[in-house]
A and B are shown apart, each in its own frame.
Chain A
């Protein structure tokens, strides 16, 4: 850790000054950046590169569009505290537009948005929370007289990248639950139908872990590209594994110890919540390893004794009944299942085959020799007779 601090590029000092003045110590900031690097699966030394990027003179512009949402994503983001996120948003990135956090309001706010879009065309990052209604031309959600649909089209087509934060903008979330009266749709679905090519990163969750969002943003700022994504557009560093794989209660599952109802003996002893409908086996997220709110172990749904409800997983959260057991999605780990047919018996060895062949050969040889002897005798006999 010390090496990292010492090896900081000289020119980063100046821009860091601003941060230090704003109350964040240089040391804390570097710690944070290194933490982010580790979480992203980058080498520790990358922490300084991230620090350099986020403190460069020109802060990356970010616009935040809220559609049909509950502000839960913003709220949870505000509760990240190393460092407190409002400082990062104000100091490290240039958050030019955010309906909840805007200093101004009304036309003033809209002006800032348009100005930033014009100035940073093709360079800004658009963050979307909430799903976008498409039914009846999207009249169910309007901002400044414009529908969320048209705003997304306008802002999304000019952005460098879009981060869809929360389940609503990632795959529909709560507003899209049946019967979906507003035709709530996720960002990528709208982009697809409108032919917008801007890359979309999904950070699903209800709410998602703030650090997953933060890390994605910082990765983009640092490397000018998006982190590796899976088929659903989710960053692999956060959504690469199902909750079940890293769950602290997994040993209970493997041993067949289950809580059967809330408050029963198994529940009190912290047994596996599978039978209560835990969706861990079908939900991709890093909740069990990252936890929430920086308060230590157990600070995530399963840790508190409630089954995972699959908030971040399309087709699970808000769709499958709460206490229905998870349906198996993946065979993990694949090697430990025997196939229907496994090769079991020992094969023929050289020695085994040789001895069998030897016996067969010896038997046939002996028979041939005896036969020959006999024919010799026969010949002698016929000769004798002939004489």
Chain B
């Protein structure tokens, strides 16, 4: 038998509806905006000296264990040294970009530069949108993306969703958790702020209100290389300053727009793609995913209507059987 013409038309009509819906980017739900009292972090790669005090402060503050890293071919050489990347035991890491002779800092060719990696605390986080059980949440006031182990089921969809590959799993633990930087959320209650910023000796990592940080970043981009500038230390509005010579910046604030904006922004003297930062669109992938899902389901009204039709059809068919 061939499918009947009428049936085919029915199917075709149905799928063309979906097609029409899928074509427009109007499927995306509107982007989210920065929470009113959003806190953030600002990393200036040009003044980072790679001392890794932030890593140590992070481990101490979050009570994270030392890491037994394996390196080399076939991951065969075990070392008790610096972790090689973020992991279930490391929320914060300084990585080093090296090129050629690696002689000069903040230089793309024959130079080197540092980059600090930890959670970006997206304005519109994909991990939060992905999590089925609200284990990852974005604080509605300060915008910190937090993790609740009592909710988490360990499905790791957050890891698939995150464009920065930030959430990490404890693979070696039979009762694992997802691990990631939470801006030292637990220190806020004690009136403190992120440990990595508090301990950074140069002011390469500073903490503060997200909008002040963005302002500071914009200001730095207007500075001339070679002039002296008073870099704030620890927090953006700190009285403690470090007078330093300004290096040549790449004229780009990473995190201002990436994935719908992040609360962790960066400046650097070396292009960000060299530092391993992904180039992303200015919209969160969560906007499309959620838009698609809600367009198809329309608050479960559409499935309910379809179900009613199906019940009718099934009833008719089974009645005929009898």
Interface string of B59-92 (1 = CB under 8 A from A): 0000000000001001100000111110000000
Pick from A26-34, A194-202, A250-258 the stretch touching chain B. Answer: A250-258
Q: Determine if A325 and B51 form an interchain contact, defined as CB atoms under 8 angstroms apart.
A: no
Q: Determine if A281 and B49 form an interchain contact, defined as CB atoms under 8 angstroms apart.
A: yes
Q: Determine if B202 and A331 form an interchain contact, defined as CB atoms under 8 angstroms apart.
A: no
- Beyond A255-B56, A323-B243, is A340–B95 a contact (Cβ under 8 Å)? yes
Interface string of A325-367 (1 = CB under 8 A from B): 1111101000111111111101100000000000000000000
B279 CB-CB contact with A under 8 Å: no
From A321, A341, A346, B243 is in contact (CB under 8 Å) with A321
- Beyond A253-B51, A325-B202, is A339–B57 a contact (Cβ under 8 Å)? no
B138 CB-CB contact with A under 8 Å: no
How many angstroms between the C-alpha atoms of A341 and B115 in the bound complex?
Answer: 12
A260 CB-CB contact with B under 8 Å: yes
Q: Determine if B49 and A256 form an interchain contact, defined as CB atoms under 8 angstroms apart.
A: no
B240 CB-CB contact with A under 8 Å: yes
Q: Determine if B97 and A340 form an interchain contact, defined as CB atoms under 8 angstroms apart.
A: yes
Closest A residue by C-beta to B276: A340
The prevalent SS among residues of A at the interface is loop
Closest B residue by C-beta to A329: B105
B94 CB-CB contact with A under 8 Å: yes
How many angstroms between the C-alpha atoms of A337 and B51 in the bound complex?
Answer: 10
B242 CB-CB contact with A under 8 Å: yes
A25 CB-CB contact with B under 8 Å: no
How many angstroms between the C-alpha atoms of A335 and B74 in the bound complex?
Answer: 18
Q: Determine if A341 and B93 form an interchain contact, defined as CB atoms under 8 angstroms apart.
A: no
Q: Determine if A344 and B242 form an interchain contact, defined as CB atoms under 8 angstroms apart.
A: no
| Count of chain B residues near A, Cβ 8 A | 39
List chain A residues, Cβ under 8 A from B228. 321, 324
Instruction: Mark out the residues of chain B between 11 and 70 whose CB falls within 8 Å of any chain A CB in the assembled complex.
Output: 49-53, 56-57
A82 CB-CB contact with B under 8 Å: no
List chain B residues, Cβ under 8 A from A326. 49
Q: Determine if B201 and A337 form an interchain contact, defined as CB atoms under 8 angstroms apart.
A: no
B245 CB-CB contact with A under 8 Å: yes
Q: Determine if B50 and A324 form an interchain contact, defined as CB atoms under 8 angstroms apart.
A: no
How many angstroms between the C-alpha atoms of A320 and B245 in the bound complex?
Answer: 9
B102 CB-CB contact with A under 8 Å: yes
- Beyond A253-B51, A260-B240, A328-B105, is A338–B83 a contact (Cβ under 8 Å)? yes
A64 CB-CB contact with B under 8 Å: no
- Shortest Cβ distance from residue B135 to the other chain A in the assembled complex, whole angstroms: 24
Residues of B within 8 A of A (CB): 49-53, 56-57, 71, 74-75, 81-85, 93-98, 102, 105, 112, 114-115, 199, 201-202, 228, 233, 240, 242-245, 274-276
Rank and list the top 3 A-B pairs by shortest CB-CB distance, nearest first. A337-B96, A256-B53, A256-B199
